[in-house]
């Protein structure tokens, strides 16, 4: 029997959940119906757009761009700061609803889930069942979702990205020539900006072009990634829906109370690198990838504050997580002496589908392979046998090097 897989994707998740919560609390304005966005600090016009409304999208506002640029495009943009506690509440409630329809629900990210519906249509057509799920979520929680239907996970995910919002689309293996191949190559899952440029340079403009291209040439150009995108273009994907419990994917963190106040950004970065490396080692050991990161700071007056961000691409790569942690720290730190630093990753998944971001780095795959090699060395010879050169060059005193392990 062929698999029947649903991919449920919340429409503009953070904004939808923010709107639903505000309406529940008596707000008479639905921010989904005006030019609005979730992200950063609206007073300082600082940070990035995490989610935007349909009207904001018409003004050209894009997810991931700076608030400064967003305000230039849409001066009347209403920006609200993110409230991740609320978002996790809505995400959890959605998962509870989905589990009423099948016993295999995979939490792929905070706003996405895969469902194995192979034996759970209860005599209804897949489309009718998907519409029922949509209506249930909207009636109970107040937000809409797209649902992609297929016999393969990757195709279900791509189907859910077709026309939005509140739509149901199918993309079965037998439909890829009609529905998938005519699409521009950038629409293929796992093809980012850098890959798109390389593919167009050799005459590949549509997904169909890629599906019918010479595989050995693709593997020479893109290494393992060439096989992956070729397979996806041809609807080849053997991964299964992995049932997981929401509580089991909350997050992984590491922190340290400093033996003396740190006052330089350079020293803070070294500590954050060590904390990030420890977190990512544990992440990979548990075979998870993260979609959210958080840095925690406590100054010498014991005032604590945090800064968090949702990543555009799930990852377990130390360098990728560290680059984002540094950005969050630099945006947050008020130049006061530091007493405590912490790093946390959340929104975890065990899925092997790693999506390329808008700013995809072709070196990420090499970095992940290097992480695996280093993890194996540490496993065989001990945690401290490998130390990054940048940590050895730290200005922290030798007696304090335990902070950097």
Q: Point out the residues that are catalytic.
A: 112
| 111 labeled part of a ligand binding site | yes
CB of 5 closer than 8 Å to CB of 150: yes
Cβ contacts of residue 174 below 8 Å, gap of 6+? none
Two structure tokens written together for 341: 């630093």
Binding site feature residues for Mg(2+):
9, 111
Annotated binding site, which residues?
9, 111
């Amino acid at each position: 029997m062929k698999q029947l897989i649903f991919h449920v994707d919340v429409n503009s998740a953070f904004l939808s959940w923010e709107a639903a919560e505000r309406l529940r609390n008596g707000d008479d304005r639905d921010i989904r119906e005006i030019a609005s966005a979730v992200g950063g600090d609206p007073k300082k016009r600082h940070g990035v757009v995490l989610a935007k409304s349909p009207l904001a999208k018409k003004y050209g506002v894009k997810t991931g761009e700076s608030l400064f640029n967003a305000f230039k495009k849409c001066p009347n943009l209403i920006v609200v700061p993110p409230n991740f506690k609320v978002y996790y509440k809505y995400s959890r409630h959605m998962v509870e609803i989905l589990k009423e329809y099948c016993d295999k629900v995979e939490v792929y990210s905070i706003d996405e889930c895969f469902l194995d519906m192979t034996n759970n249509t209860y005599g209804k057509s897949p489309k009718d069942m998907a519409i029922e799920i949509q209506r249930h979520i909207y009636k109970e929680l107040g937000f809409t979702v797209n649902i992609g239907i297929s016999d393969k996970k990757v195709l279900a995910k791509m189907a859910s990205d077709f026309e939005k919002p509140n739509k149901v689309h199918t993309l079965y293996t037998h439909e890829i020539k009609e529905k998938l191949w005519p699409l521009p190559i950038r629409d293929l899952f796992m093809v980012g900006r850098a890959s798109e440029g390389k593919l167009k340079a050799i005459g590949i403009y549509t997904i169909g072009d890629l599906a019918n291209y010479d595989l050995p040439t693709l593997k020479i150009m893109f290494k393992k990634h060439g096989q992956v995108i070729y397979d996806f273009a041809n609807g080849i994907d053997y991964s299964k829906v992995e049932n997981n419990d929401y509580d089991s994917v909350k997050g992984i963190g590491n922190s340290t109370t400093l033996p003396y106040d740190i006052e330089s950004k350079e020293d803070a970065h070294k500590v954050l690198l060590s904390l990030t490396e420890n977190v990512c080692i544990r992440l990979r050991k548990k075979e998870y990838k993260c979609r959210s990161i958080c840095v925690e700071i406590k100054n010498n007056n014991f005032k604590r504050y945090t800064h968090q961000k949702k990543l555009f691409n799930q990852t377990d790569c130390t360098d990728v997580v560290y680059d984002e942690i540094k950005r969050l720290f630099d945006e947050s730190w008020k130049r006061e002496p530091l007493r405590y630093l912490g790093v946390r990753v959340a929104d975890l998944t065990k899925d092997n589908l790693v999506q390329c971001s808008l700013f995809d780095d072709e070196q990420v795959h090499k970095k992940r392979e290097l992480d695996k090699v280093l993890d194996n060395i540490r496993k065989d010879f001990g945690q401290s046998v490998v130390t990054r050169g940048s940590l050895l060059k730290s200005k922290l005193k030798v007696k304090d090097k335990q902070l950097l392990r």
